[in-house]
Amino acid sequence: MKVKIAVAGGVTGGHLYPALSVLEFLSEKVDTEVLYFTVKGKLEEKVLSESKYRTYSLNVQGLIRPIYSFKNIPRVLKIFNNKKRVLKKLKEFNPDIVFVTGGYVSYPVGLSAYKLNIPLYIHEQNVIPGLSNLKLSKFAEKIFVSFESSIDYFPEDVKEKIIVSGNPVRIKTKGELKFETPTILIVGGSGGSEFLNELACKLANKMKNYNFILSSGGKKVKCKEKNLKVFPYIDNMYDYYRSISCAITRGGATTIYELLYFEVPSIVIPWEGSTESHQIENAKQIVKSKLGYMIKEKEVNLNDLVSKIEILVQRERKILNKKNPAKIIVEEILKEVKK
């Protein structure tokens, strides 16, 4: 059996990695031919250049909020211009299924799938669904969500198509890591966070008996502390999640799901500039599952943070063997293709 699948979802790691996790699982099961719609110059073009998947680059931009801003006119025009290119490419490729994971690139791809009568599956990472996925939900055959509470945000007439699958986790390892000293990972999402970079410096300076690892997103780090190791990006997050004592992160949905999946004791400081403050809703999942704390940026206090870290690092870490949500989505894809 061979599956031809067209995929879109990127610009940030939060949209890209769940899609890649599904493709990895699918390729393990069956012979797979992939066409990935990418956004010019964005993260997915770099990551996918090292993969065996075929790509098709689009020159589109996301919409500025509020939506009815005149600045959006050229952006909407770009989306419309690209729609014709997508439709043509998709028709040529003629996939069995189209799978999108949100972000503005998903919209023209999902809409074209619907026009061409190709089954459309969508995955939403965030508790509050993104605009593209929400608009595409009525055209989709199946809608996968990471969290049960997302269901409330979808229109009534699409709810029967929703499956609470969880968020596909990417398992990429370079080998087991072992830390002698309690180690705290600080990561501000796929693009990094200047706020967390600064906080990492303050914490490393105040907590000399702990090791800190920071994924800076290539953004400036203004200190050189002995107990702070800085990487512009970490490729093998899987290895770190399994071996650290605790994490301090932003509230990106994919990061949040990974923390839940690997049961990492965590402190989440959501980025409040996110659309509709959706990172706050994501972060609440950590509190709900009693895995750690959510602190609003304005309420961050160094002494309070130190005591929270001291509590979290006491928790015992377990190595767990859970079902990857990617498997649930792959099973549904295979059922659809076999129809």
- Interface with ligand UD1 (CB under 6 A): 12-15, 17, 102, 125-126, 187, 189-191, 215, 233-234, 237, 252-255, 258, 274, 279, 282
The Cα-based distances of 141 to 137, 161, 300, 335 in angstroms read 8, 7, 43, 12
Q: How far apart are CA 300 and CA 68, in angstroms?
A: 34
- Closer residue to ligand UD1 (CB): 272 or 304: 272
Contact 103, 15 (CB under 8 A): yes
Q: Give the closest residue to 268 by CA, choosing from 277, 279, 258, 276.
A: 279
- Residue 279 annotated as binding? yes
Taking the complex as a whole, the smallest distance from the CB of residue 15 to ligand UD1 amounts, in Å, to 5
Taking the complex as a whole, the smallest distance from the CB of residue 181 to ligand UD1 amounts, in Å, to 21
Taking the complex as a whole, the smallest distance from the CB of residue 131 to ligand UD1 amounts, in Å, to 12
Place of tokens 């970490």: 234
Q: How far apart are CA 299 and CA 59, in angstroms?
A: 39
Contact 131, 40 (CB under 8 A): no
| Contacts for 121 with CB less than 8 Å, ≥ 6 apart | 97, 98, 99, 100, 140, 141, 142, 143, 144, 329, 332, 333, 336
Contact 269, 187 (CB under 8 A): no
Taking the complex as a whole, the smallest distance from the CB of residue 16 to ligand UD1 amounts, in Å, to 8
Residue nearest to ligand UD1 (CB): 252
- Residue 234 annotated as binding? yes
- Residue 126 annotated as binding? yes
Query: Taking the CB of residue 49, how many other CB atoms lie within 10 A of it?
Result: 10
- Closer residue to ligand UD1 (CB): 139 or 231: 231
- Closer residue to ligand UD1 (CB): 31 or 235: 235
- Closer residue to ligand UD1 (CB): 139 or 233: 233
Contact 279, 251 (CB under 8 A): yes
Taking the complex as a whole, the smallest distance from the CB of residue 63 to ligand UD1 amounts, in Å, to 13
- Residue 13 annotated as binding? yes
- Residue 216 annotated as binding? no
Q: Alpha-carbon dihedral of residues 274, 190, 313, 326, nearest 10 degrees?
A: 100
Taking the complex as a whole, the smallest distance from the CB of residue 183 to ligand UD1 amounts, in Å, to 15
- Closer residue to ligand UD1 (CB): 95 or 188: 188
- Closer residue to ligand UD1 (CB): 225 or 258: 258
- Residue 143 annotated as binding? no
Q: Give the closest residue to 17 by CA, choosing from 175, 167, 173, 231.
A: 167
What residues form the annotated binding site? 12-14, 126, 170, 190, 234, 279
What residues form the annotated binding site for UDP-N-acetyl-alpha-D-glucosamine? 12-14, 126, 170, 190, 234, 279
